[in-house]
Chain A
Amino acid sequence: MKDRLLPYWLLIPAFVIVLATTIYPLAHSLITSLRDWDLTKSRRPEGFVGFDNYVYAASESQFLNSLWVTFVFVITSVILTVILAMALALLLRRKGPMHTFTRIILILPFAMSPALIGVSYRFMFNPEFGVLAKGLGAIFPALQGVPWLADPQLAMAILVLTDVWHWTPYMTFMCLGGLASIPRETEEAARIDGASNLRIVFGIILPQMKGVILVMAVLKTIFALKMFDQVVTLTGGGPGTSTETLAYFIFNVGFRWFDMGYASALAWILTAIMMFISIWYVRMLLSERKMATA
């Protein structure tokens, strides 16, 4: 009897830690999202307002704008990162003379802090002294003096660029892992059967990478949905609100305007989006595995 209970006793410390650090804050924020709480007026949440915070969000233009900005950012950064990572992995999978060196160099962007990346790119795109702004201006004279981060479209493009630059190496390594698990014989059989290189990539390799690509896309989507650091250090959500992502907007609502109830509701909307994507991903992955092992 004692032995049978022992595993449960051993689990208790971990369970308490999870409860204190994850479940409690989640539950607390969920309850807060149903209350009115202006931090400038009260140190404690006030009365329950039901779903008023959620209903308000549905019609508030700034929230809808941040949702749209996040959508544009997520779609472009996920697509670009996955495509680039796949292409790089296909180039790097054969062991060449610079194999190890290339891989070390490749991991460096991912090792950098996102906030630092934002600051670096802000300097590099400064029209007065930025190395990238100057360099691009030297190569393409039409780009001389372009206020890169002052233009809404260009600012979003640069935000996406920094994120793609940051995440592509990690995703490339995921792709390399996936590629290594594909039997060499399938590719060789296709070469003998008469497939061109392009056909081998699209007809043989990519279908076998479906599972890995799915994992990559979902992971990247979840991280992109939470995009915050680079927004703070690179664009500050601007110009205007053109790069104000949902995470940055929630931060503003909570810690600039001190509307904790509304900020909690927005945070739960973001969580719901991520949960929806995660559940969809698990279902896709399970059906993929079922097909592979059936």
Chain B
Amino acid sequence: MAEVRLVDIEKRYGGFLAVPKQSLTIHEGEFLVLLGPSGCGKTTTMRMIAGLEDITAGDILIAGARVNDKPPKDRDIAMVFQNYGLYPHMTVRQNIDYPLKLRGMNLADRKARVLETAAKVELDALLDRRPSELSGGQRQRVALARAIVRTPSIFLLDEPLSNLDAKLRVTMRAELKHLHHELGVTTVYVTHDQMEAMTLASRVAVMRDGRIVQLDTPKKIYAEPADLFVAGFIGSPSMNLIDGHISGGLFRADGVELPVDLADRDGVVLGIRPEELDITHDTGAAISGKLYALELTGESTLVTLRNGPSSVCARGHADFEAEIDSPCHLKPRTGARIHLFDRETGERLG
């Protein structure tokens, strides 16, 4: 376990600024997720921590020691790659054993450690197979086993579940969470999947254009997104974002009239999550439009209505049924959180 501190780090590729100057502290034993869309700099940030990319400016400190000039092997880290990075010419046993062998551990201890680690990730029966003889999930386990076999101070996981099918991803997610609980090692996890971030993280750093735009607990990020980008990025289905203006204490857009506590102004985006809207028969409800689509997800039905350019989604009861194009009305639930953002800057208002 170790604390990782990024102090004013910056990364440039020639003239291109991939990661602008920023700082971040990852606490001891924490599970920090770097979340953002493709190309936002999250993997570059992780690779800088690993020592696989040089930093252009700033300092990286691991357990208080500056590691800028240290090669990856001297940073006491282990990394799981998106494509696993397994050694194809080695068996599962040799793959797991390799980091121990390189660090000069004696053969008897290595053998015991490999068996113990393989058991932890349920690979005991596959030790003599090569990676090409394994399924995606099994390869993922080998990569994990290779990372945890020598108990490093920091785990770096770069989109480790992105190549797995949806079902396996859920299973592996739970296993990762359990493993982190069991080992307590500081973990940095890169993903573009907000569900993974929400379920795994102690804290989430949402990134955009190389910058961390919000760093907080998953609960806080979900409840109070710092800006329009985070509001739209977190949540599935994503938050309803309706373009309008405020006048007379009401947010107004086509088919939408909601009381808000903000002075009159134009260029406002209102955000409300689908699960905080109820379907109602009240024709004077805050949001009205024509039913555009019904999507049954199993435990609920996603109801999308449209009025002019704006469309609003609500999570309704699984049994809800109605005719497409029929009038539909929605009202915020009691205590529903209404978020207001500036359309131009994306900043949170109020």
Contacts of A294 in B (CB 8 A): 130, 132-133
Alpha-carbon distance between A204 and B103 when the two chains are bound, in angstroms: 16
B84 touches A185 (CB 8 A): yes
Q: Report the contact-size class of chain A (Cβ under 8 Å from the partner).
A: 20 to 34
Contacts of A278 in B (CB 8 A): none
Judged by a CB distance under 8 angstroms, whether B137 is at the interface is no
Judged by a CB distance under 8 angstroms, whether A7 is at the interface is no
Judged by a CB distance under 8 angstroms, whether B222 is at the interface is no
Please choose the segment from B70-78, B212-220, B303-311, B338-346 that sits at the chain A interface, where 4 or more of its residues have CB less than 8 A away: B70-78
B73 touches A191 (CB 8 A): yes
A186 touches B99 (CB 8 A): no
Given contacts A195-B102, A294-B130, contact A190 B77 (CB under 8 A): no
A186 touches B132 (CB 8 A): no
B158 to chain A: closest residue by CB:
A185
Contact of B87 among A190, A191, A192 (CB under 8 A): A190
Judged by a CB distance under 8 angstroms, whether B313 is at the interface is no
Given contacts A185-B81, A189-B79, contact A194 B87 (CB under 8 A): no
Q: Report the contact-size class of chain B (Cβ under 8 Å from the partner).
A: 20 to 34
- Least CB distance, B190 to chain A, in whole angstroms: 14
Contacts of A185 in B (CB 8 A): 81-85
Contacts of B82 in A (CB 8 A): 185
Contacts of A191 in B (CB 8 A): 51-52, 71-73
Alpha-carbon distance between A20 and B87 when the two chains are bound, in angstroms: 49
- Least CB distance, A188 to chain B, in whole angstroms: 5
A197 to chain B: closest residue by CB:
B71
Alpha-carbon distance between A194 and B250 when the two chains are bound, in angstroms: 62
Judged by a CB distance under 8 angstroms, whether B281 is at the interface is no
Give 1 or 0 for each of B57-95: 1 = CB within 8 Å of chain A CB: 000000000000001110001110111111111000000
- Least CB distance, B298 to chain A, in whole angstroms: 36
Give 1 or 0 for each of B96-111: 1 = CB within 8 Å of chain A CB: 0011001100000000
Judged by a CB distance under 8 angstroms, whether B146 is at the interface is yes
Residues facing B in A197-213 (CB within 8 A) are 199, 204, 207-208, 210
Alpha-carbon distance between A199 and B130 when the two chains are bound, in angstroms: 20
Judged by a CB distance under 8 angstroms, whether B32 is at the interface is no
Alpha-carbon distance between A189 and B133 when the two chains are bound, in angstroms: 20
- Least CB distance, A248 to chain B, in whole angstroms: 41
Contacts of B84 in A (CB 8 A): 185
B149 to chain A: closest residue by CB:
A193
Alpha-carbon distance between A207 and B86 when the two chains are bound, in angstroms: 13
B130 touches A193 (CB 8 A): no
Alpha-carbon distance between A186 and B73 when the two chains are bound, in angstroms: 14
Alpha-carbon distance between A207 and B130 when the two chains are bound, in angstroms: 14
Judged by a CB distance under 8 angstroms, whether B234 is at the interface is no
B81 touches A292 (CB 8 A): no
Contact of B132 among A188, A193, A195, A293 (CB under 8 A): A293
Give 1 or 0 for each of A63-86: 1 = CB within 8 Å of chain B CB: 000000000000000000000000
Tell me whether chain A's interface is mostly helix, strand or loop, or mixed.
helix
Give 1 or 0 for each of A255-294: 1 = CB within 8 Å of chain B CB: 0000000000000000000000000000000000001111
Alpha-carbon distance between A192 and B49 when the two chains are bound, in angstroms: 11
Judged by a CB distance under 8 angstroms, whether A47 is at the interface is no
Contact of B89 among A192, A193, A208, A293 (CB under 8 A): A208
The number of residue pairs between A and B whose CB atoms lie closer than 8 Å in the complex comes to: 64
Given contacts A186-B88, A207-B89, contact A192 B130 (CB under 8 A): no
B86 touches A192 (CB 8 A): no
Judged by a CB distance under 8 angstroms, whether B35 is at the interface is no
A210 to chain B: closest residue by CB:
B89
Alpha-carbon distance between A193 and B130 when the two chains are bound, in angstroms: 19
- Least CB distance, A112 to chain B, in whole angstroms: 37
Contacts of B83 in A (CB 8 A): 183, 185
Alpha-carbon distance between A193 and B102 when the two chains are bound, in angstroms: 7
B73 touches A195 (CB 8 A): yes
Given contacts A191-B73, A294-B133, contact A186 B86 (CB under 8 A): yes
Alpha-carbon distance between A193 and B88 when the two chains are bound, in angstroms: 15
B89 to chain A: closest residue by CB:
A207
Contact of A192 among B50, B88, B132 (CB under 8 A): B50
A189 touches B73 (CB 8 A): no
A291 to chain B: closest residue by CB:
B130
B77, B88, B103 pick with most chain A CB within 10 angstroms: B88
Alpha-carbon distance between A208 and B130 when the two chains are bound, in angstroms: 13
Contact of B52 among A188, A210, A292, A293 (CB under 8 A): A188
Contacts of B130 in A (CB 8 A): 291, 294
B85 touches A188 (CB 8 A): yes
Residues facing A in B15-64 (CB within 8 A) are 50-52
- Least CB distance, B21 to chain A, in whole angstroms: 25
Contacts of A292 in B (CB 8 A): 88, 132
B81 touches A188 (CB 8 A): yes
Contacts of A192 in B (CB 8 A): 50-52, 72-73, 77-79
If A186-B88, A199-B102 are given as contacts, then 12 extra A-B residue pairs at C-beta distance below 8 Å, sorted by A number, are A183-B83, A185-B82, A185-B83, A188-B52, A191-B71, A191-B73, A192-B50, A192-B51, A192-B73, A207-B87, A208-B88, A294-B130
| Complex A-B: 29 CB contacts under 8 Å | A185-B82, A185-B84, A185-B85, A186-B85, A188-B52, A188-B79, A189-B79, A189-B81, A189-B86, A189-B146, A190-B87, A190-B98, A191-B51, A191-B71, A192-B50, A192-B51, A192-B52, A192-B73, A192-B79, A193-B99, A193-B102, A193-B146, A194-B103, A199-B102, A204-B87, A207-B87, A210-B89, A291-B132, A294-B130
Q: Which residues of B contact A (CB under 8 A)?
A: 50-52, 71-73, 77-79, 81-89, 98-99, 102-103, 130, 132-133, 146
Nearest 10 A/B pairs, CB to CB: A185-B85, A189-B85, A194-B102, A193-B99, A194-B73, A207-B89, A185-B81, A192-B72, A191-B72, A192-B79
